[in-house]
Amino acid sequence: MTYYFNQSDLEKYLAEYKELKNIEKELLKENKLANNYDLYEQYMSKIQTYYFDENIEYAKIYANTKEELIEKTREYLKDIYGLDGYELLEYEEALQKAYINFIGQGYYQIYNSIGCSGDISVHRIDEMLKIALSSAMMKYEFDDEVWEYICEHCNDI
């Protein structure tokens, strides 16, 4: 097949995708990730080497209940942004509509896309890694030529 991308670029994308698949395999083995923030940071920095998502807040919120998570999220947003008046109302409104995925005790992160889509979501760190990893891998899958090259040259995916 004839490719329009430079061969070295295609090989680089293939190597990056393989590394992301290796991270995915490692994450499947980690079952205590929700309470290990240091390990979370290690994996997130690996993932963000390939795809940096500026909407992930590094809030490091530890919660035992959904109510505690909501309150700590509110405090974090207010403190970090120094919100007052209209801004605080905007964040409070977004927080009322926020998707707060409480799946048990552990550390949580905020995905804050108020500037883009006006949404806030809160996920436990093990889930946030899966979201970030999926986003990183998607950039290869959306380019037909790159994805075709990856599929042709990577038998173990």
Q: Rounded to an integer, what distance in angstroms lies between the CA atom of residue 51 and that of residue 72?
A: 28
| Residue range 42-62, pLDDT digits in tens | 999 999 999 888 888 888 999
Predicted local distance difference test score (pLDDT) of residue 86: 64
| Residue range 57-77, pLDDT digits in tens | 888 999 999 889 988 988 887
Beta-sheet strands, E only, within 48-155: 56-63, 99-101, 106-113, 119-124
Classify strands 56-63 and 106-113 as parallel, antiparallel or unpaired.
antiparallel
Q: Give me the torsion for CA of 39, 43, 46, 48, rounded to 10°.
A: -120
